């Protein structure tokens, strides 16, 4: 049996998500959903086996189990996952990146469908409850802040404030398209303090 039996390349899984489930999302958002579902994943890590500065460098590949929440995907110019991942903490170009990332295929379609159904039900309940102010629907920024706090709890925030605000704006437009859009700057200002606290917890002085 191969080391990746019962596993599917992550790009193929995200292609399936994009075509088979609604709402349609890009690979970047689909990868975030895999992280939220805590899907089991494997990847290959290349390790140099020759001495530094050898004329003919050699390397070996090792299969490892990974937590998708610890990594972010490299995307091609079309926004499609390449299968290579880099650590959230050290960023692109890290020597600790992995290749040929794959996710377990068993029950993947059922789990993904159930995950989206649960999330839509949650959003519907939250909108029904509102902000507590009689006669006033919840403001869009509140949804963004709630989603941001979920991402903080899962340690899935982007590496910069502007990138996190941009992600939240895209998420809001996708999940709450019937509502008035929220400006990226407004999201930045609303989450700035909490984002700084999260960032400092990851890189303490």
Model pLDDT for residues 178-191, shown as the tens digit of each residue:
777 888 899 999 99
Tens digits of residue pLDDT in 76-130: 999 999 999 999 888 888 888 999 999 988 878 888 988 888 877 776 766 665 5
Cα–Cα distance measured from residue 114 to residue 173, given in angstroms and rounded to the nearest whole number:
22
Where exactly are the structural domains of the chain? 7-104, 130-202
Long-range contacts of 97-100 (CB under 8 A, 24+ apart): 97/45, 97/71, 98/43, 98/44, 98/45, 98/64, 98/66, 98/71, 99/43, 99/44, 99/45, 99/46, 99/61, 100/4, 100/9, 100/43, 100/44
- Phi, psi of 203, rounded to the nearest 5 degrees: -135, 70
Write the DSSP symbol of residue 22: S
The pLDDT tens digits of the residues spanning 154-180 come to 888 998 999 999 889 888 888 887 777
Phi, psi (deg, nearest 5) at residue 186: -65, -40
- pLDDT at position 176 is 81
């Amino acid at each position: 049996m191969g080391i990746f039996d019962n596993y599917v390349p992550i790009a193929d899984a995200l292609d399936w998500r994009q075509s088979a489930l609604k709402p349609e999302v890009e690979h970047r958002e689909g990868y975030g959903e895999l992280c939220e579902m805590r899907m089991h994943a494997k990847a290959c890590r290349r390790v140099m086996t020759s001495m530094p500065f050898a004329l003919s460098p050699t390397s070996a590949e090792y299969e490892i189990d990974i937590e998708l929440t610890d990594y972010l995907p490299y995307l091609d110019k079309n926004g499609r996952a390449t299968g290579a991942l880099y650590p959230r903490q050290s960023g692109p170009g890290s020597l600790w990146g992995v290749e040929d990332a794959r996710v377990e295929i068993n029950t993947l379609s059922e789990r993904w469908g159930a995950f989206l159904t649960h999330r839509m039900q949650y959003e519907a309940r939250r909108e029904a409850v509102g902000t507590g102010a009689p006669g006033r629907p919840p403001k869009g920024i509140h949804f963004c802040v709630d989603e941001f706090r979920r991402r903080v709890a899962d340690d899935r925030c982007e590496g910069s404030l502007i990138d996190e605000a941009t992600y939240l704006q895209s998420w809001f437009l996708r999940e709450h398209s019937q509502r008035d859009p929220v400006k990226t700057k407004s999201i930045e200002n609303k989450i700035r303090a909490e984002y700084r606290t999260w960032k400092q917890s990851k890189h303490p002085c």
